[in-house]
């Protein structure tokens, strides 16, 4: 189930210091796709780990940052619980184990499975979480400033959450005029939810509402498109896509999206009072 790759030796004072400590698991957010988006703290944890565990794609993303003496365990999609249990098992032998997670580990990432498993089987193992740049904020940056006001993040994957509950959350976000960020919007076999979401939103928002479609951000094949709510399904959408759907105030400017927060209104009002 796990493919292990051993790399040649390389040691540091930091690693020797941590080796003397009790085993621990650090869940590290590696950002949306490029090492350039990782924090210095995330890189430090990766470089001082005794073992690194992660999804195949994420291991490939950080391969250049992994020291040559580090044991690496990688596995495919759907093995999140197995990776969590392996991490805790290795940490119980006084190892410093890093579990890499795409984006931020606390946003649909590996922090949850690790902590759930720890509470059940390894309460004595220390678990730390290192935040990362999540797809919502990274995609927003590539689009301009669409998240300047309140927004909701919803995953359309119905593997762990019933579809009815997902759609109800979309309805509530639409009624509340939240800017909407959609993760996992469409796969090869799951195409209905995004169509249903569009139908729900069309009842509450203008057809011309700006929509940003960001695919493979900071990776090979990156694509950023600004379109409208009524036309968003005309574009390619897959599991590597993040959608940002504007609210009633969102506008476009030079192929970018902007949801004004109202700073200029406050400044104008202050100027009039002055």
Q: What is the DSSP letter of 23?
A: P
pLDDT at 10 over 70: no
pLDDT at 20 over 60: no
Q: Strand pairing of 71-75 and 24-29? A: unpaired
State mean pLDDT over 215-224: 92
Phi, psi dihedral angles at 111 (to 5 degrees) = -60, -40
Q: Is residue 149 classed exposed, middle or buried when 0-12, 13-18 and 19+ CB atoms within 10 A define those classes? A: middle
Confidence of residue 240 (pLDDT cuts 50, 70, 90): very high
Arithmetic mean of pLDDT over the chain: 90
pLDDT at 260 over 90: yes
Residue found by looking up tokens 């700006």 in the block: 210
Structural domains of the chain, with CATH: 3-133 (3.40.1010.10), 136-258 (3.30.950.10)
Look up the pTM and report it: 0.85
Q: Strand pairing of 96-101 and 24-29? A: parallel
Residue-wise pLDDT for 129-140, tens only, equals 999 999 999 999
Percent of the chain surpassing pLDDT 70: 88
Confidence of residue 273 (pLDDT cuts 50, 70, 90): low
């Amino acid at each position: 189930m796990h493919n292990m790759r051993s790399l040649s030796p390389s040691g540091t004072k930091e690693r020797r210091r941590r080796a003397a400590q009790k085993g621990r698991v650090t869940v590290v957010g590696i950002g949306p796709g490029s090492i350039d988006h990782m924090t210095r703290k995330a890189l430090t944890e990766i470089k001082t780990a005794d073992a690194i565990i992660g999804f195949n794609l994420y291991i490939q993303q950080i391969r250049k940052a992994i020291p040559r003496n580090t044991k690496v365990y990688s596995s495919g999609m759907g093995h999140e619980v197995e990776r969590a249990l392996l991490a805790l098992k290795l940490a119980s032998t006084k190892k410093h184990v890093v579990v890499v997670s795409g984006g931020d580990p606390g946003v649909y990432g590996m922090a949850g499975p690790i902590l759930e498993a720890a509470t059940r089987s390894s309460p004595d193992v220390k678990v730390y979480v290192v935040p990362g740049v999540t797809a919502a904020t990274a995609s927003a940056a590539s689009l301009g400033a669409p998240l300047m006001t309140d927004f909701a993040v919803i995953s359309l994957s119905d593997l762990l959450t019933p579809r009815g509950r997902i759609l109800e959350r979309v309805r509530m976000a639409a009624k509340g005029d939240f800017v909407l960020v959609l993760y996992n919007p469409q796969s090869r076999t799951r195409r209905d939810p995004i169509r249903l979401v569009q139908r729900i939103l069309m009842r509450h928002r203008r057809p011309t509402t700006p929509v940003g479609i960001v695919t493979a951000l900071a990776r090979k094949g990156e694509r950023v498109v600004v379109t409208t709510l009524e036309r968003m399904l005309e574009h390619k959408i897959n599991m590597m896509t993040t959608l940002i759907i504007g609210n009633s105030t969102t506008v476009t400017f030079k192929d970018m999206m902007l949801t004004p927060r109202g700073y200029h209104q406050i400044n104008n009002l202050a100027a009039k009072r002055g």
